[in-house]
Structure formats: C-alpha cells, structure tokens
Structure 1
Amino acid sequence: MDKSRGGPNGTGTPETAVEVRTLADLARVAGVSAGTVSRALAGKSLVNIETRERIQVLARQYGFRPNQIASKLRSGRTGVIGVVIPLGPATGQPISDPFFMAILGHLADELTGSGYDIMLSRAIPDGTPDWLERITGSGMVDGVLLIGQSDQCAIIEQVAARYRPRRLGQPGQGPAPHHRGHGQRTGRTARGGASDRLRARRLAFVGDTAGVEIATRLKGARAAAQAAGLTIDHIPADLADERMRSQIGAALIASGADYDGIVAASDVIAMATLHVLHEAGRKVPGDIQLVGFDDLPMAGLTSPR
C-alpha cells in the first residue's frame, strides 16, 4: 500500500504519522469521499460491505471517532430524551426518593434500549414561568418526559399546547390530553373489598396536598371514608425525609391522637410512618392500620409489608 496514503503496515497500525481528526482526513486515507465515510461509519447499506468494512477498520486503526454533536446537528436529532422532575413547593424532595428511582430505572431501560440517552433535570421553578420552555426549546433534547406535575399544571399545559397531543395513562385532571397521571383516586379501591375489612374508625390522611397528585389522593380517601360513614383528618407531611418523620411523630405520637387507621399519600410516607410507629411501640396492624400508595418494590421489604 502507498505509504503516502498513510496505509497500515503488516502489524495493523499506520506506517506514517498521518493525523486523522475529521471525516475528510479519513476519506483521504481511504481514497473515498467524505460522504462515503460518513455512511460507512453509520453502517448504511448504501456503501457496499467491503468498502464499509475497510473504512471501519481504518477508523479503528487511526483512533478516529466521529463528531457526534456535529452529526446530530446535521440530522436535526439529538438522540437524547429529557427526564424532568418539577419540584414546586416540595423543594426538599431528593431525586434519590425511591419513587423517582423506581420510575427512572424503568425509563432508562426502555429509552436506552431504543437507542436514546437520558438527560436528567431536577427543576425547581422558583416562580419563573419559563422553566419548562428553557428545556423544551434548548435544542438539547428530542423530547421531554415529566415525572409528576407538582403545582405546575398551568405551565405544563401552556407548553404542551404547542405540541401534538399524546395521551398517556389514564385521564388526569386537566382538560387537554398533553399530560396524564396514572389514576390517583384511592376511593374506588377502598370502597371495594378493602372497606369490608376496615376495623379503623378514626382515620388520618398523611401527605402534603400542594401538588395535584396528592390532593387528588386525599379527595379519593375522603370519598371512601364518607362511603363507610367515617371522616378523615388531614396531616400535612413534607416530602423531605428529615422533616417528614418529625411532622408525622408530632401529629401521631406527641399529640396523643388516637388514630387507628392511617392512609399515607405514598409508600415513602407509609414507610416513614411505620418507622415512627415502631419507635413509639405502636403495632401495625394490631394497634393501627396503615396503607400506602404507589406499590414501590421497597414497600414489599418492610415488616409488615
């Protein structure tokens, strides 16, 4: 092979110190056009298999890596999906929350399996109405998935109105089909078989209702309690773990309240409540019945489950 072309020697390494940084450089080494090199590295069948394999071998030998950013700019696609967790009033809730981690794990499996990368953003709106537009209009992502609505429904609907509708899950609270929850009402289940086994007579719902999801769960719990001829008190609980336990302890233990049934707005709150009750010597379900929401895998590891 002509050494002036920088061809490989018998050891499989370049004989001359040819610098290959761009598609044009590799094209000169291979003796083809830059377009052919681009198609060959992308594995396109437009390039015959022998030429394609030869170019790919040369790329490896010269340590050439295509500029992915430039390629994506040309195609108008980033190959990235943004996963955004909007935190309105619950700014202390960490991404390491088991609820977020469970969803992120499934999303990562599906998206990466479909050839996408993930860009994760923990968005704290802080009163700025363009927080979502800065993400959707950044040019850095091909699409955005939001985990939870927080108290940002109006802004989410405003931004979503500019896109083609996508109906996901069960119908949510808003009139437009751009974003959907997964069915927050607890009333239907509680009015079924669960109400037949209910021994509790003084009930409390534990959770901060600033976000639409938990507010809707409280609405369902109240409907179920009313159907059973009962009322249910509301105990706010911060989603930041260090504050959550002290609030639950103050409401359930320090106050001397005699609740015998607790509806927790999430499994994370239910697990924190279980811990507080255990430390206070209250038995679940012997002294007090407890139910959570979300069906997290971690909830199956507590005792009782």
Structure 2
Amino acid sequence: MSHSSSDAPPRRIRNIAELAELAGVSPGTVSRALSGAGLISSKTRERIQALAREHEFTPNAMARNLRIQRTGAIGVVIPLGHETGQHISDPFFMTMLGHLADALTERGYDLLLSRVIPTNGDWLDRIVDSGRTDGVIVIGQSDQSATLDRVAARYRPLVVWGGRSEGQVHCSVGSDNRRGGMLATQHLIERGCKRIAFFGDPRAQEIEQRLAGCREAMAAAGLSDALTVFPAHLVAEDAQPDIARFLSGSGDRPQGIVAASDIIAMSAIQAMVERAIPVPDEVRVVGYDDLPIAQQTLPRLTTIRQDIAGGAGHLVDLLLRRIAGEDTDGVVMAPELVVRGSS
C-alpha cells in the first residue's frame, strides 16, 4: 500500500538558506523574519515563521551570536584565594547566585559558573580572554584585589561583589563593611559587653574592613585593649572545632562576638551550645549577611544585613552598562543592624 506524499512528515530544514529557498525569499529576509528585526511586512514575517515551525527549524543562536560578536553568556566567578575549602554550596554563594541567575535570565543571558582556586596571577586573564562570555561578574575579592585591579584596567565588562578601598581600579558592588563592623560592635557595647572577640580572617578585603569598623567602635569606647581577633574559617565544619578550642582556652572568655559572616556566627553558637555556654546570657553574638538561615538558629541570629538581592541587581545592571561601553562607578550600600535573640 503506497502512502500519498501528503502523509510524509515535512522535510527537516537545516539552515537559513534552505528555508529561504522554500519560502522563495532571500536568506537576509528569513534572518530578519526570525529575529523579529528589519523592515519586512508582517504577512511575510508570519509566513516565514510558520514555515520554520512546520519544518522544525530553529536558527543557530551560536552562528547568530558570532555574526554580532556576542556569546549571550555572562561568566560568574568565585575566587577562593584565602579560603580554599569553601564550596559553591556555601549559603552566601547560593543566595547570591539565585538572585544573579534571576536577574541575568530576565535580561536574556545564560550564566557560566566557575569556582577558581588561584595558584598564580593569570586565572582572571584566562577567563576574560576565553571569548566564552560577554562579561564577567566576580563574587568576592578574597585576597585577589591586585589581580582584579590589573585586569579591570584593560577589560571593561568586569564587575565585582566586594568592598570599596582607596585607589581601587575595579568596579565593585557591596555593603559599607567598615560601617557594618562598627554597628555590630556598638550594639554589643551598648548591651554591656566589654571583652569582645572578632571572628574572621582579615586577609579577605571585606573581612579586613569589618574588623577595621570593629576596632574603631572599640577605640571610641576606650576598649581597644579588650578586643581579641580570631581568624575563624568561613566554612562551618572548619570553623566550629577551631572556635570550640578558642573558647576552651585559658584566659577570659569574650562577652560578645562579632562574626564576619552568619556561618561563622552560627558555628560559634553551636560550639557554645555544646559547651553549655548560654547565648546570649553569657556571650552575645552578632553575625554578618542576614542570610535566610539566620532566622533558623536557636536563638535567632542578630546580624548585619546586606541587601544581597539589591546587590545582585546592581551587579547585572552595571555589567550590562559596561558591556554597552559605559564607564560606571561602583555601588556602596548601607548595612543595617537586625536585632534578634542572639544578642
């Protein structure tokens, strides 16, 4: 039994030239019809789009991007210079990546994610020169500010989440870390704490700035000699045993802890719970970030809030303006003290 030709599935179209031949128009007309651009009649556009659907033709986005020299992708890079044990699953990174992915997708971009442990100074050069992305967002300065400055001087579409420092070349978005450290410390002093410990590794620029704010508040209260700095890890499984050893050591226990992140603060609370040290009765704790998990600790965590969603929006906005050729200033957002049960 023979099939009539009308029963056969439509021929699969492989490229714009074949679709143009079928439609009886030029390849340029097909290209304009499929991209929605150009001066062609709506009737012609609809006819060509219907033919494309019927023959299951989707134009090759990569070929189109090559013509207009655009990849349609943004690189998002997490450099772990001072804290090599951190993972992308870290709650801060996951919160920031969620907001970045939403903002980029809404603007029609894909996200290309890399976690880098810098072993030499050219890690960022390799990323920006790969040709795989239209621009790069770096989450965190770590201890890599010099590399970020050097590459930013020659590569415009680069924006970094982090702190602003004197003479900085790279464009950054972040909270006023010095102010945040100050707010946390002033709050503990107002609650009667005289001996205060700062938990965090100041090799990272943002943490160094939070410590500077903490020192400033202690000095203003005449308590400079009562500050202890403990370079706690940002990774909970490393931070907790170290903090436990610190708390078990000889010497006076701090009455207040300024933690450089919510994860460090939560590790400190956990270590104290295990040693039956009541929080906040004996030791008051303030974190930094105000991640969603800050409300799940017992007691709930007092912390310095960074507007991570707003920050992600600024990062994407500034990057797209820089891709378009603009020079942009960075953004320093005001941090905010959120008082809960831990202080």
When the two structures are superposed, what TM-score results if normalisation uses the length of structure 2? 0.78
| Structure 1 residue 301 displacement after superposition | 2.3
Q: Indicate the larger mover: 218-227 or 157-166.
A: 157-166
Residue ranges of structure 1 left out of the alignment (5+ in a row): 1-7
Q: Please say if 1:41 is aligned against 2:34.
A: yes
1:234 is paired with a residue whose SS is: strand
**Residues 92/166 of structure 1: CA separation in 2 closer, same or farther (3 Å cut):** closer
| Structure 1 residue 241 displacement after superposition | 2.6
**Residues 253/50 of structure 1: CA separation in 2 closer, same or farther (3 Å cut):** farther
Q: Deviations over 1:279-300 (max 9, x none)?
A: 2212211111000111222212
**Residues 165/77 of structure 1: CA separation in 2 closer, same or farther (3 Å cut):** closer
Q: Residue 146 of structure 2: which of 143, 151, 154 is its match?
A: 154
| Structure 1 residue 229 displacement after superposition | 2.1
Q: Larger radius of gyration, structure 1 or 2?
A: 1
Q: Please say if 1:135 is aligned against 2:127.
A: yes
Q: Please say if 1:172 is aligned against 2:167.
A: no
| Structure 1 residue 166 displacement after superposition | 8.3
Q: Distance in 1 between matches of 2:157 and 2:105?
A: 24
Q: Residue 292 of structure 2: which of 277, 284, 297 is its match?
A: 297
| Structure 1 residue 276 displacement after superposition | 1.4
Check the 8 A contact 1:165/1:177 in 2, yes or no. Answer: no
Q: Residue 244 of structure 2: which of 233, 244, 249 is its match?
A: 249
Check the 8 A contact 1:251/1:257 in 2, yes or no. Answer: no
Q: Deviations over 1:125-156 (max 9, x none)?
A: 11x21110111111111111111101111110
* Structure 1 vs Structure 2 CA RMSD: 2.4
Q: Distance in 2 between matches of 1:132 and 1:100?
A: 19
Q: Which residue of 1 aligns with 2:283?
A: 288
| Structure 1 residue 255 displacement after superposition | 5.1
Q: What is the aligned length? A: 292
Percent identity, aligned pairs only, is 50
Q: Residue 235 of structure 2: which of 232, 240, 243 is its match?
A: 240
1:217 is paired with a residue whose SS is: helix
Check the 8 A contact 2:136/2:157 in 1, yes or no. Answer: no
**Residues 289/58 of structure 1: CA separation in 2 closer, same or farther (3 Å cut):** same
Amino acid in the other structure paired with 1:189: L
Matches within 5 A, 1:266-277: 266-277=261-272
**Residues 183/166 of structure 1: CA separation in 2 closer, same or farther (3 Å cut):** farther
Q: Please say if 1:183 is aligned against 2:176.
A: yes
Q: Distance in 2 between matches of 1:202 and 1:158?
A: 41
More strand by share: 2
Q: Indicate the larger mover: 55-64 or 77-86.
A: 55-64
Check the 8 A contact 1:95/1:101 in 2, yes or no. Answer: yes
Residue ranges of structure 2 left out of the alignment (5+ in a row): 301-343
Check the 8 A contact 2:140/2:162 in 1, yes or no. Answer: no
Check the 8 A contact 2:181/2:209 in 1, yes or no. Answer: no
Q: Residue 67 of structure 1: which of 60, 64, 73 is its match?
A: 60
Check the 8 A contact 1:12/1:61 in 2, yes or no. Answer: no
